[in-house]
Amino acid sequence: MADTDEAVAQHLRCYVYPAWEKRALGAIKPGDVQSWVASLTTTHGLAASTSRTVFNTVNAVFRAAVRDRMIPHNPCAEAKLPSVPRKKIVPLAVEQVRMLSEEIPARYKSLVLLGAATGLRPGELFGLQLRHVDLLHATVSVEQQIQQTAKHGVYVGPPKTARSHRTVPLPRMAVDAMKAHLRDFPADGPESWIFTAPQGRPVVYTHFMDGRWRPACAKAGIPKGTGPHALRHHYASLLIKHGESVKTVSERLGHTNAAMTLNIYTHLWPDSEERTRAAVDKAYADRPADGETAVDEAA
């Protein structure tokens, strides 16, 4: 939550206060809001997605003002927002993940394989302690994550959302990878970090990206700009390919709801035109024609 609070404060400081700091809430009209929304992209050069995020912050303020009867109407209610082009996620192939796990330093090989096998967020992987992994029952529990912000530095925080608290099954390849990792990099006790920096401290995202992840991606031939979150997309693509439902994929990933899962991965579900036709044809084929029914009943 700290990083979210920091982002909200930045949005207000950079894009809201300069525009409306000296104006009363009730003096801001819908036309003012629309002009301001347009300025986020034209004047400030923000991406459409960022503009929407900034707008949501302001909209929340006005909604609260209406709720508390400070103003009669929300001037943001009918604002038109810039459209965000949807980028289709292209998941890493199995061979790419294998190559990456071989190119990255040995202490992070199992981190790559575990991410690909469970869909945990990078911070959730970094936050794993020995007590969270049950190799006997082949599960991993997500109870915390390592977070990093400019204001608070590196610290242990709760998972991203309430739904992010979850237990994920470990496939055999992940169990084998974890056994190999704990053999080569033993954890002293239940509170010990599974994945650590060379100095023994928790993994820091920025250091990991600069010193370990990006060089390994370059060696493995993985496109520039690919981050650890790609392992999460890879995992989701495998579940979808093998017929898991939206509900299951959403639960495994710790998404807030299934709609979020569909919004991100809908293009990965296989085309079902033929299955749709077959389902309807089968339903109507199971019932004999009216003439046949009459003959059977007469008999």
- In sign, the C-alpha dihedral spanning 166, 233, 242, 95 is negative
Residue 252, CA atoms < 13 Å, CB-side half-sphere: 24
- According to DSSP, the residues that pair with 139 across neighbouring strands are 134, 169
pLDDT of the residue at 97 = 97
- 2 pLDDT exceeds 60? no
Q: Could you give the CA distance from residue 140 to residue 129 in angstroms, rounded to a whole number?
A: 10
Phi, psi of 286 (to 5 degrees): -70, -15
For 147, list phi and psi in degrees, rounded to 5.
-115, 160
Q: Per-residue confidence at 3, pLDDT binned at 50, 70, 90?
A: low
CA-based nearest residue to 262, from 250, 251, 254, 273: 250
Mean pLDDT of the chain: 90
H or E element that contains 141: strand 139-142
Query: Mean pLDDT across the stretch 195-221?
Result: 94
pLDDT computed for residue 298 by the predictor? 46
The model's pLDDT over 53-102, given as tens digits with 9 standing for 90+, comes to: 999 999 999 999 999 999 999 999 999 999 877 778 899 999 999 999 99
- What percentage of the chain exceeds 90 in pLDDT? 70
Model confidence at 11: pLDDT above 80: yes
- Alpha carbons 187 and 191: distance in angstroms, whole number: 9
> Of 168, 172, 141, nearest to 253 (Cα)?
168
Give me the mean pLDDT over the 170-182 stretch.
Answer: 97
pLDDT at 299 over 60: no
Please give the Cα distance from 216 to 222 (Å, whole number): 9
**Cα pseudo-dihedral 48, 53, 55, 58, rounded to 10:** -170
First CA to last CA across the chain, in angstroms?
Answer: 73
pLDDT number for residue 288: 58
Q: Residue 9: what pLDDT?
A: 84
Label residue 291 by pLDDT band (50, 70, 90).
low
Report in angstroms the alpha-carbon separations of 278 from 88, 94, 154, 184: 29, 32, 54, 53
Q: What is the pLDDT of residue 297?
A: 46
pLDDT at 135 over 90: yes
**pLDDT of 249:** 95
d(CA 38, CA 51): 9
| 3-state SS class at 139 | strand
Q: How buried is 24 (Cβ within 10 angstroms: 0-12 exposed, 13-18 middle, 19+ buried)?
A: exposed
Which DSSP state fits 143?
-
What is d(CA 197, CA 39) in angstroms, rounded to the nearest whole number? 43
- What's the confidence (pLDDT) of residue 290? 54
DSSP state of 133: E
Section 227-250 average pLDDT:
94
Q: Which of 159, 175, 189 is nearest to 253 (CA)?
A: 159
Block residue for tokens 């082949």 = 138
pLDDT value, residue 151: 67
> Once rounded to an integer, what is the mean pLDDT over residues 173-191?
96
